[in-house]
Structure formats: C-alpha cells, structure tokens
Amino acid sequence: MQMPYTPIIATLGYVLSPDRTKVLMIHRNARPDDLHLGKYNGLGGKMEPNEDVLACMKREIREEAGVECTSLTLRGTLSWPGFGKQGEDWLGFIFIIDNYTGTPLKKNPEGTLEWVERDRLLDLPLWDGDRLFVPLVFDNDPRIFHGVMPYRDGKMQSWQYSRI
C-alpha cells in the first residue's frame, strides 16, 4: 500500500537584477552539515502554517536576502518525492521576483549571495534536477509549468512536466 503524499511545502525564488540580466543566487558554503553544501540555489524555504505561498516567498526573500518583494510571478510548481534528507517529499512553488526594494545582503547563515548572469546559471554547480527546470523558469513561455522529479537515495530518478 502506498503512503499518502504529504509533502513539505516550500517556495523557491529567483530575484532578478533591475536590468533583468542577473539573478541573485546563494552559494551554499557556510555550514559543513548542509545537504546543499557547495551548490548554488535560488532563495526560499518551508512554508509556515499561518501563511500562503505568496507570503512564504516574500518572507523567505526578506529573511535570506534582506529585500522586500514588490513584484513577483509564479513560474511553476514542482513535486520532489523522496528529495529530503530522510526521503521526505517536497512540493515547491517557484517564483521570479522582478522588482524589490532595499539592498540585497552579501551573505546569510546559509552562504554567500552572488549576482550571476542569467546565461551563466547552468555553468554553476547546481543540483542535477535544477539544470532541467531552471530553463523553464526563465524562458519566454508565459504558461506556468508543473513538474515532478522523483528522488531516491539523493539521486534524481526521472523528470517530467506539463504546461497548459
């Protein structure tokens, strides 16, 4: 019998520079015990019980980058069954933040924040799965993507997505 799908709900955001040519990424280099150590990620994290996904994204950007989102767009949803440290399932809502107020932090407890040229994102040390969905976040298709990317023992098993 299959267990019910009870994912950890999270947000993942990509903050664009004012000229839209760069993306604020975190280089996860601060904690030796970090599952993401050495990798680059967008910003985000787990949703709290008293918030919706938009409030979660805004809070995570505020906490991790020190800026206030003034304009953001949902670009996709992604299910990562088996992705967590103990094989937990994750469900992510993926945003582009195309306007904000404030000056982004240089670092936070997770690592160093770096502006990266959009066309260089796939050159970074990313999760293998990020290489597959990140292009969908930044493409010119206005439709939201919905993907599923199962993991087992820390490795991506497959990838599929749809748009309507």
Mind giving me the DSSP string for 30-49?
S-TT-TTTT-EE-EEEEPPT
Model pLDDT, residue 50: 95
Whether 119 is in a domain gets the answer yes
Tell whether pTM > 0.85. Answer: yes
Whether 116 is in a domain gets the answer yes
Domain that holds residue 78: 8-163
Domain containing residue 95: CATH number: 3.90.79.10
**Burial level of 67, CB count in 10 A (0-12/13-18/19+)?**
buried
Q: What is the pLDDT of residues 78-96, one digit of tens each?
A: 999 998 888 899 999 999 9
**Number of domains making up the chain:** 1
Whether 3 is in a domain gets the answer no
Whether 159 is in a domain gets the answer yes
Whether 1 is in a domain gets the answer no
The maximal CA–CA distance of the chain, rounded, in angstroms, is 51
Amino acid identity for residue 56 in this structure: C
Q: What is the pLDDT of residues 16-50, one digit of tens each?
A: 999 999 999 999 999 888 878 899 999 999 999 99
Whether 15 is in a domain gets the answer yes
Whether 2 is in a domain gets the answer no
What is the distance in angstroms between the CA of the first residue and the CA of the last residue of the chain? 32
Residue 5 pLDDT greater than 80, yes or no: yes
Instruction: Give the tokens for residue 51.
Output: 């918030």
